[in-house]
A and B are shown apart, each in its own frame.
Chain A
Amino acid sequence: MFEVTGLSKSFGGLKALENLDISVKSGEVMGLIGPNGSGKTTTINLITGLLKADSGKVQLDGKDLTNKAADIIAKLGTARTFQNLRIFSRQTVRDNIRVAQTTLCKSVFSKFVPFLTDEERAFRSETDALLNEFELSHVSHKRAESLSYGEKKRLEMARALALKPKILLLDEPAAGMNPLELDWLAETIVGLKKSGLAIILVEHHMKLVMKICDRITVLNFGNKIAEGNPKEITNNKDVITAYLGKDHTIA
């Protein structure tokens, strides 16, 4: 169980997030939507320790993650992708995944002389499985910078999963994807959810959100204005106002 309670953050005078509560169970996809600048990325940055919260709590399976260092939070089972791709572009695709496994090393030797340890063999088959699942096997030896945009996005997701997280936070994974890639994304997220992962999905692509989310939280100007299942959200008056403005008329 992943729980956020009363999370708040201001930048100077700007209240980017106010008193946010979210909870996600394992095997559940929580959509986090809202207009641009409503605080979605800020929420992810607060959870993953890139930003320090002014107040509030973040807990994962009873463990406190609030305002811990980003690397500790990652080690405790939280993985993310970034709205603006952040891959290690000069490393190979395979090494991008391998580097994320390093925190899982049990033996110190794995860090210095990986080729000598048994642990490494297990890591290798996990890397192969991830490369396969994210359709990156054919480019595994290439530098990450030479990949296409879609491949880079898949690599970033694969790298996040290499951490074996309990909760995965995706910041606009569908941005820039073509319809074929979108279908693949939906299928993959549903697969991850079925394997027991808790997922928070920040996304503007409403069709995707409505299709795969179990519940949806809507933000506007840093405040939660609605929460519910896709159907409830689609029919919520406040949500429609936030997205389309007060004066719209439904055609």
Chain B
Amino acid sequence: MAYYTALFEISGLNILLALSVFATLMVGQFSLAQVGFWSIGAFVTAILTTMHGMPLYSALIISSILCGFIGLLLGYPCLKIKGIYLTLATVAFAEVVRVFFNNLNYQIELGDRMIGPAGALGFRGVKVIAAWPEIYLVLFVIVLLFILLASSRLGMSINAVREDETAAAAVGINVTKIKVSMFMFGAAIAGAGGGLYASYSSYVLAENFSFHMALVSIFYVAVGGMYTFSGPIVGAVVLTLLPEVFRFAADYRMILYGVVVIIVVIVFPRGIVDEIRYRIEQRSLRHDTFSDNKTHNKNKKLPDEGIK
């Protein structure tokens, strides 16, 4: 039972990471910085709750706001760079954060021992005050925000920016503002997610928030789909459970994992959710064409052109 609870909890945390990547992808930006924000959220929340006795939710809110603010500072100059260069800049940011926390020594005496981040040894003994109810409450709030976005004019503007920045500007949308806001939103989600992770796992190590984790976070979105927020949710759950299914393969399970990811990406080139949605749409369009001969779909462009 404890095993399944743990899987449930880790899935929740990974969904948060996936949604934070997705938030920046919503405006067509491909960022690997989320791991850096996750790391900041983890250390800041751990310091606030464990060393300063702050309640979990206050610490999470402060971590979110702090990450959102750093997202503003990073996002604004990053808008000037495009494509692969933006991605590289975000990798650099995550590296800077990793090195920073790897060297951070800030401990205070609590009870009979010293506690706090101890450089490369990490932060041991973080107060464990988050389990599935806390994780899923935060997730619920964030999903609610995504639903609100999807049904609002703001959400339409975000989609417009993603599809065509030039046309979006021509209909009066402030493209810069939208892009920076979504970058901040993604950073804030990662801040809260990292904070929950620290309060869940009791041990925070900067080395864990590495390039590998950044890649996995992109996998979640690539496998699940990047057009609606349900994509990254499905992707995160599938890729969290997959290694467990392959437990029998012992040392070879990560190879199987890699093979399955490749197969999924080939079978569902738009991601699981978007591919299924697309197939259903195509079927209904075909149906339309047979029932009245007016619609011509021959030259239809594929709906998803992938990452720009």
Question: B166 to A102, Cβ gap below 8 A?
Answer: no
Question: A71 to B153, Cβ gap below 8 A?
Answer: no
Q: How large is the interface on B (under 10, 10 to 19, 20 to 34, 35 or more residues)?
A: 20 to 34
Per the bound structure, the CA–CA distance linking A95 and B154 in Å amounts to 12
A112 within 8 A of B: yes
Question: A82 to B167, Cβ gap below 8 A?
Answer: yes
Interface residue stretch chosen among A13-21, A28-36, A140-148: A140-148
B295 within 8 A of A: yes
Mask for B38-65, Cβ within 8 A of A = 1, else 0?
0000000000000000000000000000
Least CB separation from A80: chain B residue: B170
Contact residues in A for B174 (Cβ distance below 8 Å): 69, 71
Least CB separation from B297: chain A residue: A146
Interchain nearest-CB distance for B165 vs A (Å): 10
How many residues does chain A have at the interface if contact means C-beta atoms less than 8 Å apart? 39
Contact residues in B for A75 (Cβ distance below 8 Å): 172
B164 within 8 A of A: yes
A215 within 8 A of B: no
**Contact of B170 (CB < 8 Å), options: A74, A90, A111:** A74
**Contact of B167 (CB < 8 Å), options: A86, A101, A115, A148:** A86
Given contacts A99-B157, A148-B296, contact A89 B173 (CB under 8 A): no
Question: B303 to A99, Cβ gap below 8 A?
Answer: no
Per the bound structure, the CA–CA distance linking A232 and B173 in Å amounts to 41
A-B contact count (CB 8 A): 103
Given contacts A74-B169, A75-B172, contact A146 B159 (CB under 8 A): no
Question: A88 to B167, Cβ gap below 8 A?
Answer: yes
Mask for B219-237, Cβ within 8 A of A = 1, else 0?
0000000010000000000
Q: Which of B152-181 contact A (CB under 8 A)?
A: 152-154, 156-157, 159-160, 163-164, 166-175
**Contact of A159 (CB < 8 Å), options: B151, B157, B171:** B171
Question: B157 to A102, Cβ gap below 8 A?
Answer: yes
A113 within 8 A of B: yes
**Contact of A111 (CB < 8 Å), options: B154, B227, B285:** B154
B300 within 8 A of A: yes
Mask for A37-78, Cβ within 8 A of B = 1, else 0?
000000000001110000000000000000001110011000
B148 within 8 A of A: yes
**Contact of A112 (CB < 8 Å), options: B148, B168, B173:** B148
- Contact residues of B with A, CB < 8 Å? 148, 151-154, 156-157, 159-160, 163-164, 166-175, 227, 281, 285, 295-297, 300-301, 303
Would you list 7 pairs from A and B whose C-beta atoms are within 8 A, ordered by A residue?
Answer: A71-B169, A71-B173, A74-B172, A89-B303, A95-B156, A102-B171, A114-B151
Given A70-B170, A99-B171, output 15 extra A-B contacts at Cβ < 8 Å: A74-B172, A88-B164, A88-B167, A91-B160, A99-B157, A99-B159, A100-B171, A100-B172, A110-B153, A112-B153, A112-B154, A113-B148, A113-B152, A146-B295, A146-B297
